[in-house]
Copies of this chain bind each other. A is one copy, B any other.
C-alpha cells in the first residue's frame, strides 16, 4: 500500500519526482503572485464621483463628491488581509518546499490547507457583498451601488477572479503534496 511505483526503475522515478517538484514550484509562485496582485488591486481600490443631489424641488441640484473605498466594507478588508497572509505563506512554503522532506511535507500540507480555508472564506465574503452591490436586494431594501461606482466594482471582480485562481492553486498544492506522500515508499 502506498507504493504504486515499486516497478519503476530509478531514472523514471527520479524524472517523475522532479516533474512534481517543478509543478509545485510553479503553483506556489503562481499563488504568491496572484494573491499579491489581488490584495493590491482591492487594497488600493477607490473611486470618487460627483453626484448631483437635490435637497428641495425648488432649488437647483448640488454637486456632491461621493466615494467608494475598500475600508468601508469589512468583507473587503478581510479579503485584503486574507490574500496578504496567503501571499506571505506562499513565500515561506516556497522556501520550505525546496528543501523539505517527511514531516516538513505534512506541515506544508497543513499550511496549504489553512490557506484554502482562509482564501475561500474571504472570496465568499467579498463575493456575496459584491453581488448585492451589483444587483441590490429588494427584500432587504439594499440598493445596488455598482451603477454609481462602476470602476470600483470592476476592480473588485478582477481581484476576486485572481484570488479564486490562487485558492485553486493552493487546492492543487494540497492534492499534489498528498499524492507525493501517497507515493513515497
Q: How far is the CA of A185 from the CA of B102 in the complex (A)?
A: 12
Give the docked Cα–Cα distance between A116 and B131 (Å). 22
Cβ B185 vs Cβ A139 within 8 A: no
Nearest to A144 among chain B residues (CB) is B140
Q: Does A101 contact B (CB under 8 A)?
A: yes
**How many copies of this chain does one complex carry?**
2
Asked whether A101 lies within 8 Å of B1 as measured between CB atoms, the reply is: yes
**Interface of chain A: mostly helix, strand, loop or mixed:** helix
Give the interface residue-count category, chain A.
35 or more
Binding stretch for chain B, among A18-26, A49-57, A67-75: A67-75
With both chains docked as a complex, state the minimum distance between the C-beta of A91 and any C-beta of chain B, in angstroms. 22
Asked if A84 CB lies within 8 Å of chain B CBs, one says no
Output the residue of A2, A102, A141, A171 with the most chain B CB within 10 A: A2
Chain B neighbourhood of A141, CB < 8 A: 143
Residues of A within 8 A of B (CB): 1-4, 68-69, 72-75, 78, 101-103, 105-106, 109-110, 113, 116-118, 120-129, 131-133, 137, 139-143, 145, 167, 171, 174-175, 177-179, 181-182, 184-185
Report, nearest first, the 5 A-B pairs whose CB atoms are least far apart: A124-B124, A121-B124, A125-B128, A72-B139, A124-B125
